[in-house]
Structure 1
Amino acid sequence: MTDRRLLLVHAHPDDETIGNGATMAKYVAEGAAVTLVTCTLGELGEVLVPDLEHLAAHRDDGLGQHRIGELDKAMEILGVTDHRFLGGAGRYRDSGMIYADDGSATVPPDVSDDSFWRADLLEASTHLVEVIREVRPQVLVTYDDFGGYGHPDHVQAHRVAHYASSLAAVSSFRSELGEAWDIPKIYWSAMSASRMRAGLRALRDAGDTTTFEGMDPDALPPMAVEDADLSAEIDGAAYVDKKLDAMRAHATQIAADSPFFALSGSFGNQIWATEHYRLARGVSSAADGELESDLFGGVAGH
C-alpha cells in the first residue's frame, strides 16, 4: 500500500468533481491512493443536453447508465483509477429532491422504495465497511450532516460514511470482510463563506447580475461555511484546469454556459482551485487558529 490513502464517499456522479476535484487530482499526482465510492447513478438528475433529453427518468430512464460513462471520463481526467458504486452500479437509486420553503433541498413525497434514502442503513454501511477494510484509508471525505444543502442522498451518504467508519473499526463485526480498520481522520467538504461573498461581490461590481442570479452575498446558502469553522484549505491551483475539464465531462449535469464556467477567469480559478474542509474526526496538524494545508497531516504512513 502507498503511504497515503484517501477515500471519498459521494451521492451522485459529478458531486465529487465539483467539491473535491482539485484535491483528488493533487493527491493522485503526488502518488497517494485515491478511492471514490459513489452511492447512486444519479438517475433523477436533470438532462441539460437537448439531444439526450430522452434519457430522463420520466422517459427512457437511461440517465444513470449514461452518467457511468461521464464519471469514467471525469475520473480519467483527474487520474483516479479506483472508483466504485456502493454495493455495485445501480444497487441504490437516486432519491430525487424537492425544495423546501426555506430554499434548502428535502425529501420528495414520492421517493421510491429502491431509493438510497430508503436504504437499510446497516446494509448500505456494510457495503462500505468492505471497501474501508480493503483500502484502509487514513482520510475519509464526505458531506456534513445536512449534506451541504439538504439533498436526501447527500444526507444519507453522510450517515452511511460515518456508520461504516465506526463498524469497520470493530474487529468482531463481520470479520469475513477483512481486518478491522479505524480511519484516523474524517473531513466534511465545505465552501468558504468569505470566498463566496468576495466572488459574488466581484461579479456584481463588474456589472454581472446574472451569474448565480438571486444569490445574496449577505445571505449565503447553507453549504457556505464561515471561515472560523473551517479546518483545512487545499491549494489545487496546479490542477484547476483538470477540475474544470472533469466538470465538463459531466455534460448532462453541468451546462457549458453554467455559472461554474462563467467564473473560470482568473478570479474564478482561485475559487475552484481552493477546496475547504471541516475536520469531523481526528486531530488537526495545524497550529491553533490556522488551517491545515494537507489532509494527511499527522497521519501519513499510519
Structure 2
Amino acid sequence: MAPRLLFVHAHPDDESLWTGGTIAQHTAAGGDADLIVCTWAPGTQRHAEVVEAARILGLPREPIALGYADDRIPASAPGAPRFCEARLDTQVREMVAHIRRLRPDALVTYDPIGVYGHQDHIHAHRLADAAARAAAVPNIYRRLGDPWQIKSIYEVTTSAWMVDTLWEHVFDEKEVDRLQAVSDDDIDLRVDIDSAALLDRKEAAIQAHHTELDRSIAMKALMSLPTDIRRKLLATECYHRRDLIPGGTPLL
C-alpha cells in the first residue's frame, strides 16, 4: 500500500518545481497526499494558481494555506505577519493540528538550508521538522487530537550535475552560488520521472504559476531552455531521507 504523504512548501510554485514529479507519480499510482503552502492567502492570485497546479498534479484536495505573508511581498497576505516573523510556537501548534488530522506516513519539505538559502524555505523546514516531532508526543497539544507518528521526512536537495546545468543555462554566478551541489553518493533518494505523460503534467503545473513566471527571470529562463535540457532537469528530483522510527517508510 502506498504511503500517505504530506508536502510542506513555503510558496506557490515550489510544490511543482521541486516535487511536482514525485506528486504526479504518487497520485497516478493511486497514492494519497496533501499539500500545505505556508505563504499567500486565499483570495490572492498566486493562491489561485497553486490550487490549479495541485489539480494538475493529481492531488485529491485543495492545498491547505497557512496564509502568512511572503518574505518581501506584504500583498501576499494582507494584514498577516511575514512567515518568518510569526511566533514559531504558534505555527508549530497549527501544523501539529494538520498532521494529526491528516495522519501522513511521510512528510516532504526542504533540507535545512532551504535548498538555496531562502529564509522562507529554511523556516518551512524548521517548522515542518518541529511539528513532525511534536505531533507524536502524547502530552503536547492534547486538545489537537490523538498523537501521530510520522515515519520519515524527505528533504529536497539538488545534485551536483543539476547545479552545473543551471549554472550554465539559467542563473548568473552570484545566484547559482547559493545552490548546494550534493554528490550523487550523498543523495538518499533520486526520483526519476521516466513517463512522458507525468513529466508533461509537471511542466503544466509549473506553467500554471503565471504570476511567478512573469516575475522571475530565473524561472522564465528555466522554462525557456531547449526541450531536452529542460526536461532532463525537471525529470529528476532528489531527497535526503531522515527516518523518525526504525525502518521509516519509502516515499514511493
TM over 0.5: yes
Q: Supply the AA of the counterpart residue of 1:70.
A: E
The percent of aligned pairs where both chains have the same amino acid is: 35
1:129 deviates by 0.6
Amino acid at match of 1:236: I
Q: In the alignment, residue 233 of structure 2 is paired with which amino acid?
A: I
Going from structure 1 to structure 2, the CA distance change for 1:38 and 1:223 (only over 3 Å counts) comes to: farther
Q: Does the C-alpha gap of structure 1 residues 235 and 258 become closer, same or farther in structure 2, counting only changes over 3 Å? A: same
Contact 1:231 1:284 in 2 (8 A): no
Q: Counterpart in 2 of 1:228?
A: 185
Aligned mate of 2:65, from 70, 82, 85: 85
Return the offset for 1:262. 2.3
1:212 alignment partner in structure 2 = 170
Aligned to 2:22: 23
* Partner of residue 158, structure 1: 125
Selected match of 2:53 from 49, 71, 74 = 74
Q: Pick from 117, 120, 124: which aligns with 2:91?
A: 124
Q: Specify the alignment match of 1:260 in structure 2.
A: 222
SS in 2 for 1:32: coil
What is residue 251 of structure 1 aligned with on the other side?
210
Question: CA shift at 1:272, angstroms?
Answer: 0.3
User: Alignment length, in residue pairs?
Assistant: 239
Distance 1:13 1:194, change over 3 A: same
Q: Kindly state the Cα deviation for residue 128 of structure 1 after the two structures are TM-superposed.
A: 0.8
Matched, 1:275 2:237: yes
The code of the aligned residue for 1:233 comes to R
| Corresponding residue for residue 76 of structure 2 | none
Name the counterpart of 1:208. Answer: none
Matched, 1:178 2:137: no
**SS at the partner of 1:237?**
coil
The letter of the residue matching 2:239 is: Y
Shift of 1:3: 4.5
Deviation, 1:20, is 0.3
One-letter code aligned to 1:130: A
Larger radius of gyration: 1
Q: CA separation of 1:114/1:94 partners in 2, compared to 1, >3 Å: closer, same or farther?
A: same
Aligned pairs (5 A) from 1:92-111 = 92-96=68-72
TM norm structure 1? 0.71
Preserved CA contact (<8 Å) 1:233 1:276: yes
Classify the secondary structure of the residue corresponding to 2:89. helix
**One-letter amino acid matched to 1:182:** Q
Deviation at 1:171, TM superposition (A): 1.0
Q: Deviations over 1:115-139 (max 9, x none)?
A: 1111111110111111111121111
Give secondary structure in 2 for the equivalent of 1:224.
coil
CA contact (8 A) 1:237 1:274 kept: no
Q: CA 1:213–1:117 in structure 2 vs 1: closer, same or farther (change >3 Å)?
A: closer
Instruction: Give the conservation status (yes or no) of the 8 Å contact 1:188–1:278.
Output: yes
Q: Is 1:41 aligned to 2:40, yes or no? A: yes
Greater mean alpha carbon deviation, residues 256-265 or residues 133-142: 256-265
| Matched position secondary structure for 2:115 | coil
Distance 2:238 2:12 in 1: 20
Letter in 1 for 2:251: L
How far apart are the structure 2 equivalents of 1:162 and 1:23? 20
> CA 1:194–1:284 in 2, change beyond 3 Å: closer, same or farther?
farther
| Equivalent residue letter for 1:149 | Y
What code does the residue aligned with 1:166 have? R
The more displaced of 66-75 and 187-196 is 187-196
- Residue aligning to 2:135: 168
**When you count helix as a share of all residues, which structure comes out higher?**
2
2:4 aligned partner: 5
The answer to whether the Cα contact below 8 Å between 1:139 and 1:186 also exists between their aligned partners in 2 is: yes
Structure 2 spans left out of the alignment, 5+ residues: 74-78
Q: Which runs of 5+ in 1 are unaligned?
A: 43-62, 98-111, 205-210, 286-291, 297-302
Secondary structure of the residue aligned to 1:39 is: strand
Q: Tell me, in whole angstroms, the C-alpha distance in 2 between the residues paired with 1:159 and 1:196.
A: 24
TM-score, normalised to structure 2's length? Answer: 0.85
